[in-house]
């Protein structure tokens, strides 16, 4: 390929609208991929996907010098999970990503499992001023095979060139396994109040809290347990951060934990606890689990460190371990959710997370001209590319309503709400390819309790094989993977008499290449 052709191919593949990125030739470096990737069936167009092969959890989310860095669990040799690496991409706006070379490769201590990254501004670790330091789990497959329980330990690595190249710390592991089989996914953060590094780590069925002056020497300071009846699947990918309660001066801490099984609509999901953290111990009065997202496809999500305007930006892996390795994509597997900005609200005596899309997402959207839509807008209309669109409206509901997306193959995706039982339901039973996995099929009808509300604000974001549903500004969220054989072209809300729509908007995603 001559330079010009490869330049165009890479731009098409990696980003639309990433003009700033393309000024710098080194930004065009990619690890894999071909120019046709963007046209592949089911490949999301404005969600992050690996150029090729397998991806799971987001890792090492950190902002540094104009860029948001997204590392991720990556297996570059197959479209199913295998020896884990950290893939890498970066973005100036969290929406246009450019792939970078693989950051971390497995070594003699094991595969590189999930973890986090920080910017060591004061060189506490001695790796250099403003070194990017990653802390991750080593998973030793040999020890695991030998039947040992000690196969997960924690290691660190650093980069002095903005995450491009990495050096592993020669005295790894920095935390040995204490005899717990599942012991992983360190999330480090700088605790302002105590001026010390702190870290949360999951250990089988609880969270452990650690602190360190230098990211190398860690001391365990506390644990957090929660009685679940029945117990949920193994605890994974924790995160801990402080948020202000909207409209007040009150501050609360939020502890996020993912669970491989036991989520409200089956399989994997991410829940949170809102409580207090005195710099050593986290406590909560919460009696029940709250989930970040009630759809089946938002897992292992965590938030960015070092975000310049102190926002809590969350990205999750848009899949579910129940069927992740079998979804019907060919050259790559899975995508990340769109970035969401977390906030905290109080209703009665309880606190809840809200997770709307980052406001900059609006820069990507443009209203669709009326001539492109036919039918009785907003109740029933056709538009030939609903699979890459954003639909939003406010609804006054008398009793119940049903939203149907469909195509000419009679495939459909349904969203319904019933005021009487307060349930919002999704139905992907006939949404296209569903037979690839029994568990995908059996999780096709999903429910979320939102209570009796006669006024709802609804935002639906469709992108090839995903639909993200935001109710009331992200107070309730459901994320789903769907695999229609043809894009949806028809939209319908039933029964018309029962639901009054206002502020209706249908938008497409601007592509600026």
Show the tokens assigned to 231.
Answer: 């117990």
Between 201 and 344, name the residue whose CB sits nearer to ligand FRU.
Answer: 201
Selected from 73, 306, 320, 465, the binder of ligand FRU by CB under 6 A is: 73
Between 322 and 468, name the residue whose CB sits nearer to ligand FRU.
Answer: 322
What phi-psi label fits residue 451: left (phi over 0), alpha (psi between -120 and 50 degrees) or beta?
left
Strands 219-224 and 235-244: unpaired
Selected from 21, 27, 57, 297, the binder of ligand FRU by CB under 6 A is: 57
Beta carbon of residue 185, minimum distance to ligand FRU (angstroms, whole number): 5
Phi first, then psi: give them for residue 150, nearest 5 degrees.
Answer: -95, 30
If one asks whether residue 84 binds ligand FRU (CB under 6 A), the answer comes out as: yes
Say if CB 10 and CB 22 are below 8 A apart. Answer: no
Between 58 and 339, name the residue whose CB sits nearer to ligand FRU.
Answer: 58
Beta carbon of residue 474, minimum distance to ligand FRU (angstroms, whole number): 23
Selected from 32, 49, 137, 406, the binder of ligand FRU by CB under 6 A is: 137
Catalytic residue among 27, 37, 57, 297: 57
* Separation between Cα atoms, residue 187 and residue 61, nearest integer Å: 10
If one asks whether residue 43 binds ligand FRU (CB under 6 A), the answer comes out as: no
Residues 398-427 that bind ligand FRU (CB under 6 A): none
Between 130 and 205, name the residue whose CB sits nearer to ligand FRU.
Answer: 205
Strands 131-139 and 152-159: antiparallel
Phi first, then psi: give them for residue 371, nearest 5 degrees.
Answer: -70, -20
Phi first, then psi: give them for residue 204, nearest 5 degrees.
Answer: 55, -85
* Separation between Cα atoms, residue 60 and residue 132, nearest integer Å: 10
Between 137 and 298, name the residue whose CB sits nearer to ligand FRU.
Answer: 137
Show the tokens assigned to 187.
Answer: 């999330």
* Separation between Cα atoms, residue 234 and residue 202, nearest integer Å: 9
Say if CB 235 and CB 242 are below 8 A apart. Answer: no
- Residue 343: strand pairing partners: 354
Residues 99-128 that bind ligand FRU (CB under 6 A): 113-114
Between 302 and 509, name the residue whose CB sits nearer to ligand FRU.
Answer: 302
Selected from 32, 49, 56, 296, the binder of ligand FRU by CB under 6 A is: 56
Q: Say if residue 504 is exposed, middle or buried (CB neighbours under 10 Å; 0-12, 13-18, 19+).
A: middle
Beta carbon of residue 237, minimum distance to ligand FRU (angstroms, whole number): 6
Show the tokens assigned to 475.
Answer: 């107070």
Residues 143-202 that bind ligand FRU (CB under 6 A): 184-185
Between 152 and 406, name the residue whose CB sits nearer to ligand FRU.
Answer: 152
Between 58 and 432, name the residue whose CB sits nearer to ligand FRU.
Answer: 58
Say if CB 357 and CB 461 are below 8 A apart. Answer: yes
Beta carbon of residue 152, minimum distance to ligand FRU (angstroms, whole number): 8
Beta carbon of residue 59, minimum distance to ligand FRU (angstroms, whole number): 8
Dmax (CA) for the chain in angstroms is 69
Beta carbon of residue 450, minimum distance to ligand FRU (angstroms, whole number): 27
- Name 497's Cβ contacts closer than 8 Å, sequence gap at least 6: none
Element (H, E) at 370: none
* Separation between Cα atoms, residue 477 and residue 456, nearest integer Å: 13
Residues 192-251 that bind ligand FRU (CB under 6 A): 236-237
Name which of 197, 5, 211, 237 is nearest 113 in CA terms: 237
Beta carbon of residue 139, minimum distance to ligand FRU (angstroms, whole number): 7
Say if CB 138 and CB 173 are below 8 A apart. Answer: yes
Beta carbon of residue 119, minimum distance to ligand FRU (angstroms, whole number): 22
Task: Establish whether 57 is a catalytic residue.
Answer: yes
Between 59 and 387, name the residue whose CB sits nearer to ligand FRU.
Answer: 59
Beta carbon of residue 381, minimum distance to ligand FRU (angstroms, whole number): 39
Beta carbon of residue 9, minimum distance to ligand FRU (angstroms, whole number): 30
Binding footprint of ligand FRU, residue count (CB under 6 A): 12
Say if CB 90 and CB 97 are below 8 A apart. Answer: yes
Between 198 and 319, name the residue whose CB sits nearer to ligand FRU.
Answer: 319
Report CA 348 to chain centroid distance, whole Å: 29
- Name 159's Cβ contacts closer than 8 Å, sequence gap at least 6: 103, 131, 132, 134, 165, 166, 167
Q: Which long-range contacts link 249-254 to residues 24+ away (Cβ below 8 Å)?
A: 250/346, 252/276, 252/344, 252/351, 253/277, 253/282, 254/342, 254/344, 254/353
Selected from 232, 300, 313, 460, the binder of ligand FRU by CB under 6 A is: 300
Say if CB 357 and CB 338 are below 8 A apart. Answer: yes
Residues forming the active site: 57
Question: Which residues form the interface with ligand FRU (CB under 6 A)?
Answer: 56-57, 73, 84, 113-114, 137, 184-185, 236-237, 300
């Amino acid at each position: 390929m001559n330079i010009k052709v490869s330049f165009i191919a890479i731009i098409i593949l990696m980003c639309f609208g990433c003009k700033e990125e393309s000024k710098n030739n080194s930004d065009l470096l990619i690890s894999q991929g071909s120019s046709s990737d963007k046209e592949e069936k089911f490949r999301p167009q404005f969600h992050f996907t690996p150029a090729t092969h397998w991806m799971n959890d987001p890792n090492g989310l950190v902002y540094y010098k104009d860029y948001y860095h997204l590392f991720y669990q990556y297996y570059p040799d197959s479209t199913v999970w295998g020896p884990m690496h950290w893939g890498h991409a970066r973005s100036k706006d969290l929406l246009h990503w450019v792939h970078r070379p693989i950051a971390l490769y497995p070594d003699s201590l094991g595969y590189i499992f999930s973890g986090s990254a920080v910017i060591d501004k004061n060189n506490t670790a001695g790796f250099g001023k403003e070194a990017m330091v990653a802390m991750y789990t080593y998973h030793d497959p040999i020890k695991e095979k030998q039947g040992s329980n000690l196969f997960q330990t924690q290691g660190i690595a650093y980069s002095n060139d903005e995450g491009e190249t990495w050096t592993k710390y020669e005295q790894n592991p920095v935390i040995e396994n204490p005899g717990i089989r599942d012991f992983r996914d360190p999330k480090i953060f700088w605790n302002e109040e105590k001026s010390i590094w702190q870290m949360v780590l999951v250990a089988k069925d609880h969270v452990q809290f650690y602190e360190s002056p230098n990211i190398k020497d860690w001391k365990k300071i506390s644990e957090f347990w929660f009685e679940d009846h029945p117990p949920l699947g193994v605890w994974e990918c924790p995160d801990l951060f402080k948020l202000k309660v909207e409209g007040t001066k009150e501050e609360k801490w939020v502890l996020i934990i993912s669970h491989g099984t036991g989520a409200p609509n089956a399989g994997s999901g991410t829940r949170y606890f809102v409580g207090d953290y005195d710099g050593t111990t986290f406590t909560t009065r919460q009696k029940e689990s709250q989930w970040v997202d009630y759809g089946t496809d938002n897992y292992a999500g965590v938030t960015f460190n070092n975000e310049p305007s102190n926002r809590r930006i969350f990205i999750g892996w848009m899949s579910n371990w129940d069927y992740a390795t079998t979804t019907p994509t060919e050259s790559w597997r899975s995508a990340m959710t769109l970035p969401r900005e977390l906030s905290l609200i109080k209703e009665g005596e309880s606190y809840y997370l809200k997770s709307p899309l980052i406001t900059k997402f609006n820069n990507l959207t443009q209203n669709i001209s009326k001539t492109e839509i036919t039918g009785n807008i907003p109740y029933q209309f056709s538009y030939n590319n609903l699979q890459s669109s954003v639909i939003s409206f406010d609804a006054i509901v008398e009793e119940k309503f049903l939203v149907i997306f469909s195509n000419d193959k009679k495939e459909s995706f349904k969203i319904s709400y019933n005021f009487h039982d307060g349930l919002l339901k999704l139905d992907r039973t006939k949404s296209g390819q569903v037979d690839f996995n029994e568990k995908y099929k059996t999780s096709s009808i999903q429910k979320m309790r939102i209570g009796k509300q006669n006024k709802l604000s609804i935002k639906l974001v469709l992108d090839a094989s995903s639909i993200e549903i935001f109710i009331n500004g992200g107070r309730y969220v459901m994320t789903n993977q769907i695999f229609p054989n043809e894009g949806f072209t028809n939209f319908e809300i039933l029964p018309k008499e029962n639901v009054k729509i206002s502020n209706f908007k249908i938008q497409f995603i601007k592509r600026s290449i």
